[in-house]
Amino acid sequence: MSHGGAEQTPRARRAEGLSFALFAAVGIGGAWLAGWGVKRRRMAHCEERDASELPDEEPATVGGEEMSSDYYDEVAEFSEMKIFAGSSSPELAREICAHLGISLGRAFCGKFADGEIAVQVLDEVRGGDVYVLQSAPHSEKDTDSAFMELLLMTSALRRSSAKRITAVIPYLSYARQTQVFEAHRPRPIAAADVALMLSTLGVDRVILVDVHNPRMEGFFPTEVPVHNIDAQALAVQYFKKKHLEKVVVVATDNMGGERTKAFWNRLTRVGIDAGLASMVSNRPERSRREGSPLVLTPPGSLADHTIITQAGEKKNVASLGRHDWLVGDVKGCDCIIVDDIIDTGSRAFKTANFLKKAGARRIFMYATHGVFSKGAIDRINKSPIDELIVTNSIPLPNYIFSEKLRVLSIGKLLAETIRRVHTNSSVSVLFQDAFIAKQHMA
C-alpha cells in the first residue's frame, strides 16, 4: 500500500492502526460522556420543572436510599403482589415487605420547582395485585402533598393496567371532618370527599388503622371494601407485661366511650381486672365530638346528662356552667387514658392533671395515632403522664423526643392483613385476642 508516494513498513502500518483505534475509542468515550451528561441534566431538570418528563431510569430508591439488586428477589407465593410506598412512610413500608419476604416496588416521588407533585412508577404492574402505602406525615409536614402523592400514584397504577389496587392508609387525613353543619354554618364533609376521590381514581380496596369515626367506612361506595384494622390489642399486650395494680381505664370526654369500653373489654379478656372512669364536660367544643357516649354506673350517670357532685348532689350538667369533671374513683390506681389520636395534647394534659389531683398512682396514655402538633410534646413532658404509648402509623421525626414516649409497630399487623387480602383469606381473625397474643409472642 502506498501513502504519499512511498510504501509503508509493517511497523508504520501497526502504528497507524493503533492511532486509529485510539482515536475511535476516544470518540466513543466522549460521545458516551456527552450522553451521560445530557441524561444527568434531564434527571436534574425533573426536580426543577424544566423537563417535560420524569427520568427514564431513576435509581431504585426509598427514602433516598439506593436499593441493591439482591433486594428484589421475589417470593413465588407473592409473585403477583407489588407494594409501593409514598414518601411519608418508607420505614413502615420496608418493615411490611420484610415480614412478607418481598421487595418494595420502585417508584419515584418528588416535586417540581413550583411545588407540583411528580410521581412515576418504575416497575411493571400489569395484571398485578398492587398495594400503595401512604400515611399522613407528621403535622409539621405537608399533609395535602402526601395525599396528592397517593392519588397520583393510584392513577399511575390504574393507567398501567394493575388488576387490583389497595390503598393502605394507616392514618387517614380528614377523617375527623364528618359533620355537615357546625354552629349552623355549612361545611364540607371532608371525610366523604376524600373517599370519593380515592374511589374515583381507581382504588379497589382500602385498609385503615383505627379510623377516627367508623362512619368513614360508609363514605366509600359498596364496591370498595374497607378494612378498619384495630391496633388496640398491641397496646393491651404491652400493658399486660407492665404488672399494673388496680387498673382504671379512662375516657378523655363524655363522647369517646365506645373506644374506651372496647379497650376495657380487651383488658378483662386477658385477665386484667380493670375499672372505668371518664372525663365529662358541658363545653360545646367537647360535647360535639362524635362517637358513642360512655354510660357509667355510680358514682356518676351520663345517660340522663346528670352528674353526682362531690357533695353528693345529683345535678343536671347544663345547669353547672362550663366545667369538666372526672367521674369515677381513681385513688391509688394505675390509670390508662385511651384515645385514638393525640394531636395538640391539650386534652391529655387536662385529663392527666385531673387524675393526679384525684389520687391516681401512675398515669399511662395510649393513642393509636401520634399527630403531635406544635407544642404537644412539651405538654406531655410537663404533664403527670408517666408513659405515652403510640404506634408508628405516623412517622415521627427525630426531634419529636420524650423519655415518656413508647412506639409500638403495626408493621407485622399490616403485613398479615395484606397477606390475607392477597390470598382472599379472612381478615376478621386479626381482631381475635388469641391471634394477637400469638403474633405478639412470635
Label the pairing between strands 81-85 and 226-229.
unpaired
Give the pLDDT band of residue 204 (cuts 50, 70, 90): very high
Domains 61-229 and 232-409 share a fold: yes
* Strand partners for 85: 133
Cβ partners under 8 Å of residue 38, min gap 6? none
Give the pLDDT band of residue 409 (cuts 50, 70, 90): very high
- What is the per-residue pLDDT for 292? 42
What residue spans define the domains of the chain? 61-229, 232-409
Measure the CA–CA gap between 296 and 375, rounded to whole angstroms.
Answer: 33
Measure the CA–CA gap between 214 and 162, rounded to whole angstroms.
Answer: 29
Report the range out of 21-25, 77-81, 89-93, 361-365 with the highest average pLDDT: 361-365
Contact at 8 Å (CB) between 367 and 341? Answer: yes
Percent of the chain clearing pLDDT 70 (strictly above): 68
Average pLDDT, the chain: 79
Q: How far is CA 136 from CA 4, 148, 212, 401, in A?
A: 78, 11, 14, 19
CATH number assigned to the domain covering 61-229: 3.40.50.2020
Q: For 248, which DSSP code?
A: E
pLDDT in tens, 277-302: 999 876 655 444 444 444 444 434 44
Average pLDDT of span 75-79: 63
- What is the per-residue pLDDT for 58? 47
Fold classification of 232-409 (topology level):
Rossmann fold (3.40.50)
pLDDT in tens, 22-69: 555 545 455 444 444 434 333 333 333 433 445 554 444 444 444 444
Q: How far is CA 224 from CA 11, 290, 414, 426, in A?
A: 79, 24, 19, 17
DSSP H/E element including 151: helix 143-159
Q: Does pLDDT of 2 surpass 70?
A: no
Label the pairing between strands 334-342 and 362-370.
parallel
Percent of the chain clearing pLDDT 90 (strictly above): 52
Across the chain, which distance is largest between two alpha carbons, in Å?
A: 127
Residue 82 has phi, psi (to 5 degrees) of -135, 135
Average pLDDT of span 150-154: 96
The more confidently predicted of residues 151 and 439 is 151
pLDDT in tens, 350-369: 999 999 999 999 999 999 99
Contact at 8 Å (CB) between 84 and 107? Answer: yes
pLDDT in tens, 306-357: 555 544 555 555 555 567 888 899 999 999 999 999 999 999 999 999 999 9
